[in-house]
Amino acid sequence: MQSQRLEFDGKLFDAPIPAWIYAINEMLKQREAGKLKLPLSSHNYLFRIVSAYKAPADVVETPPGADNKQMAPISQMEVGVSALQAMKRGG
């Protein structure tokens, strides 16, 4: 997760924090709907969701080393961190 990359099926995918949040939320939805058989035998189901993730068009990624004052006020990382913090608090 820290590298924001995922190697799956012999391919390298971008895997930003929001992709992991999206994937975990999708798995929880599937579990609640009774469509996910637990326990999973591997991480492949999660990896498939992460590798298929497409960032919303209105979210702007901040390039490394960029001056954040000139960029959009909320980056994908900030959205992801906020979502993780909310999940940790139970909300």
Whether 66 has a pLDDT exceeding 60, the answer reads no
Q: In this model, does residue 65 exceed pLDDT 70? A: no
- Read off the pLDDT band of 58 (50, 70, 90): low
Please, which residues bridge with residue 5 across strands?
14
Q: Across all residues in the chain, what is the average pLDDT?
A: 76
Does the predicted model carry a pTM greater than 0.85? Answer: no
CB-CB neighbours of 75 under 10 Å: 19
- Please give the pLDDT value at position 73: 46
Q: Assess whether pLDDT exceeds 80 at residue 61.
A: no
Domain boundaries, given as residue ranges, for the chain: 5-56+69-88
Six-digit token pair at 35?
Answer: 């469509």
